[in-house]
């Protein structure tokens, strides 16, 4: 049996979690999940400004801080902090923590091969819209394939104490250690499906231990010191989700089921690069305080195609906010929105989208928001998006004048004019897996 803990559900998660997982009890592997589609877009913006960037810049210093304890406890660290530049990230880790053996997993970046693949007949059609990549090819900024867990296992087989990957599947971070330590192979579909389930449950960090819980969250104690999840994975694929004793939060079957359904389309066919898992086959049962056992995993052989995440330049955006206080806070905010829209129309500005929200009243639920009596304050938020930066820049000049030329009671405008930001949009497509060649690199 191995213990795989996850100390991060997204880039920006609780900085104390990795340290507490190492110090509060036994684990064999520590995983940190940095990447999402929006994160890849952020990293691409950084790489555009500085070619050597493109990875989570705070990861190497974190490893430096963890290095002594990783070595003392014999814990291997697996993270997808490499983003668009896993080699560069791994080399910086090695520079800051020279006593650790660091291995990079690369090969997911296919940006320079897009034209070659299209010439071979791979259309890379947008999975969501049906558009052809040729429509935005000149705007493409990055292209990365979701690779699986076996390259991570290969890195561990090379003696890695730190594995730095790029855009792997989220569950692969936990599956890689299981494949390596428990001897699972490509044809062990049932065990691989169990590994997918384990990895998926812990990939969002404390969301499996009581965070963001949809039930009686008021009854969950110790959220200020919440424990992060640990998967105790057995050779046959059964596993237990738990947390260290004495930490806050709660692990229950209900909470684990919530996480199992998180970001899942068809629970009967959860696609990963290593297998297709059937989450409806799982039996999820409480088996003690803060312990949930999962059995019965089933799956099918891995898909013939891999998912590709492409980022492309999609114009410009800006979002402005201003707060109106009672009396008549909502009425004031609506009047201010109308003033802005009329002024934009008068100067002939057109945008792909203008979106208005009233925070404190209906921003979350929109038209389905419950009726409210007089509210103390409302934040008006107006956002625009378009292809012409100049038009978006002009919009940013229309919010601040409302302080003196709009309804009374305006406040919350301390930042002045909003910033214009580039829109980096995501394009998902499929690619035959035989065209992708992940590889491991031992950093010297």
CATH number given to 313-424: 3.30.70
36 or 165, which is more confident: 165
Cβ distance 18 to 66 under 8 Å? yes
Q: Mean pLDDT, to the nearest integer, of 358-386?
A: 91
Can you tell me the distance from the alpha carbon of 4 to that of 173, in angstroms, rounded to the nearest whole number? 9
Cβ distance 185 to 139 under 8 Å? no
Q: Map out the domains of the chain as residue ranges.
A: 2-108+146-303, 313-424
Q: Mean pLDDT, to the nearest integer, of 135-145?
A: 94
Cβ distance 86 to 103 under 8 Å? no
Cβ distance 254 to 209 under 8 Å? no
Going from the C-alpha of 416 to that of each of 23, 80, 329, 347, 359, the distances in angstroms are: 45, 37, 21, 21, 19
- Provide the pLDDT for residue 416: 84
Q: Mean pLDDT, to the nearest integer, of 76-87?
A: 97
Can you tell me the distance from the alpha carbon of 139 to that of 439, in angstroms, rounded to the nearest whole number? 28
- Provide the pLDDT for residue 370: 85
User: Does 167 score more than 90 pLDDT?
Assistant: yes
DSSP for 311-340, please give it. Answer: EEEEEEEEEEEEEEESSSHHHHHHHHHHHH
- Provide the pLDDT for residue 41: 80
299-352 pLDDT tens trace = 999 999 999 999 999 999 999 999 999 999 999 999 999 999 999 999 999 899
State the pTM of this model: 0.94
DSSP for 101-138, please give it. Answer: -EEEEE--B-GGGHHHHHHTT-----TTT---GGGTGG
At residue 388's C-alpha, the angle toward residues 386 and 392, to 5°, is 65
- Provide the pLDDT for residue 12: 93
Cβ distance 174 to 198 under 8 Å? yes
Residues 6+ apart with CB under 8 A from 128: 428
- Provide the pLDDT for residue 187: 95
Q: Mean pLDDT, to the nearest integer, of 364-383?
A: 89
Going from the C-alpha of 408 to that of each of 18, 319, 323, 402, 405, the distances in angstroms are: 49, 21, 10, 9, 9
Q: Mean pLDDT, to the nearest integer, of 37-56?
A: 86
β-pairing verdict for 29-32 and 2-6: parallel
Q: Mean pLDDT, to the nearest integer, of 390-419?
A: 92
Q: Would you place residue 368 in the very low, low, confident or very high pLDDT band (cuts 50, 70, 90)?
A: confident
Average pLDDT for the chain: 95
Q: Would you place residue 230 in the very low, low, confident or very high pLDDT band (cuts 50, 70, 90)?
A: very high
User: Does 265 score more than 80 pLDDT?
Assistant: yes
The HSE-up count of residue 268 (CA atoms within 13 Å, CB side) is 0
The distance from CA 62 to its chain's CA centroid, rounded to whole angstroms, is 19
Structure tokens at 191: 């065990």
Q: Would you place residue 254 in the very low, low, confident or very high pLDDT band (cuts 50, 70, 90)?
A: very high
- Provide the pLDDT for residue 42: 84
Can you tell me the distance from the alpha carbon of 311 to that of 139, in angstroms, rounded to the nearest whole number? 9
Q: Mean pLDDT, to the nearest integer, of 405-428?
A: 91
Can you tell me the distance from the alpha carbon of 154 to that of 440, in angstroms, rounded to the nearest whole number? 7
């Amino acid at each position: 049996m191995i213990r795989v803990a996850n100390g991060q559900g997204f880039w920006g998660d609780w900085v104390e979690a990795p340290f507490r997982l190492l110090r509060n009890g036994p684990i064999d592997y520590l995983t940190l999940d940095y990447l999402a589609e929006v994160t890849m877009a952020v990293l691409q913006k950084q790489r555009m400004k500085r070619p050597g960037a493109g990875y989570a810049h705070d990861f190497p210093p974190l490893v430096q801080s963890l290095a002594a304890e990783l070595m003392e406890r014999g814990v291997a660290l697996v993270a997808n902090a490499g983003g668009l530049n896993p080699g560069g990230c791994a080399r910086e880790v090695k520079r800051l923590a020279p006593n650790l053996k660091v291995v990079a997993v690369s090969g997911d970046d296919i940006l320079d091969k897009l034209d070659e693949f299209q010439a071979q007949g791979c259309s890379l059609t947008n999975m969501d819209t049906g558009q052809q990549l040729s429509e935005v090819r000149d705007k493409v900024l990055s292209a990365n394939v979701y690779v699986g867990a076996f390259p991570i296992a290969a890195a561990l087989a090379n003696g890695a104490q730190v594995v730095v990957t790029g855009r792997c599947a989220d569950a692969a971070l936990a599956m890689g250690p299981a494949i390596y330590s428990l001897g699972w192979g490509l044809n062990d579909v049932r065990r691989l499906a169990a590994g997918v389930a384990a990895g998926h449950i812990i990939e969002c960090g404390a969301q499996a231990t009581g965070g963001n819980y949809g039930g009686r969250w008021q009854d969950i104690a110790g959220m200020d010191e919440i424990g992060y999840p640990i998967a105790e994975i057995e050779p046959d694929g059964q596993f237990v989700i738990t947390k260290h004793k004495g930490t806050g939060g709660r692990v229950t079957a209900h909470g684990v089921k919530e996480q199992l359904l998180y970001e899942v389309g068809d629970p009967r066919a959860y696609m990963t690069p290593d297998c297709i898992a059937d989450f409806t086959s799982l039996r999820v049962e409480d088996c003690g305080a803060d312990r949930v056992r999962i059995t019965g995993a089933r799956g099918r052989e891995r898909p013939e195609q891999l998912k590709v995440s492409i980022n492309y330049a999609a114009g410009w955006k800006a979002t402005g906010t201003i707060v109106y206080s009672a009396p008549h806070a909502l009425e004031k905010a609506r009047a201010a929105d109308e003033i802005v829209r009329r002024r934009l129309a008068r100067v002939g500005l057109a945008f792909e989208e203008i979106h208005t929200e009233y925070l404190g009243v209906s921003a979350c639920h929109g038209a389905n928001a419950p009726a409210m009596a007089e509210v103390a304050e409302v934040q008006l938020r107006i956002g625009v998006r378009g292809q012409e930066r100049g038009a978006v820049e002009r919009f940013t000049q229309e919010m601040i004048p409302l302080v003196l030329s709009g309804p009374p009671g305006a406040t919350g405008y301390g930042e002045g004019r909003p910033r214009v930001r580039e829109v980096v949009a995501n394009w998902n497509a499929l690619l035959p897996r035989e065209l992708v060649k992940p590889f491991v690199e031992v950093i010297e």
